[in-house]
Amino acid sequence: MKNLLSFFKIIQYLVITVLLIGILAFVVYLFVPSPSKTIRTFFIALRLQNYQKAYELIDGQYLKNRGSLETFSKDYSQAIESGTRTKNIRVLSVSDWSKQGKKGQKAVEVQVTVLFNGKITETYGTYVLENLPSKGWRIVENISHLNKKANTMKPETQSNP
């Protein structure tokens, strides 16, 4: 009987330990920034037309290329007005990227499913992110031109959003 009680106590401790580790992992996932979370947040902000939030996630050369918040917002608003709608964002890969001696940058490849001209279409892109002091991970460059899949638009069989 004593052995059975000891066994149940050990099982109880193991279950509690596994639950605590699971809760800790979930908290870390929620609160620790990462390149893939930044990309997802960027595209979700665009989908929700929260251009201010999306704009805050860009920096460096990409910020220069996109111009002011007003220009950035206008570009995405025009895309929506012309019927383009982001439906889904999927991070395909995160890899190290270093250019011109900069270390610690990450290249994030994404697949974005959009409603384009009445059809569901997949488009691909690759963005460079850098963990900037006091800002966190920011999109600093669009290198989609280096992604072989970036210029291919593959309409899927589904045409209803």
Cα-Cα-Cα-Cα dihedral sign, residues 30, 66, 121, 77: positive
Strands 154-155 and 105-116: unpaired
Domain ranges of the chain: 1-31, 33-155
What is the H or E stretch that residue 109 is in? strand 105-116
Q: What is the distance between the alpha carbons of residues 42 and 99, in angstroms, rounded to a whole number?
A: 23
| Cα dihedral sign, 139-142-146-147 | positive
Q: Which two tokens stand for residue 15?
A: 């279950």
Indicate the CATH number for domain 33-155: 3.10.450.100
Alpha-carbon span 69 to 52, nearest angstrom: 7
CA distances from 135 to 118, 124, 129, 131 (A): 38, 26, 12, 7
For residue 35, which of 102, 109, 99, 129 has the smallest C-alpha distance? 129
What pTM did the predictor assign? 0.73
pLDDT in tens, the chain (161 residues): 678 788 888 899 899 999 989 888 777 666 677 999 999 999 999 999 999 999 999 999 999 999 999 999 999 898 888 888 888 999 999 998 877 667 789 999 999 998 888 889 888 999 999 999 989 999 999 988 877 766 544 444 333 33
**β-sheet bridge partners, residue 89:** 112
Give the pLDDT of residue 2.
74
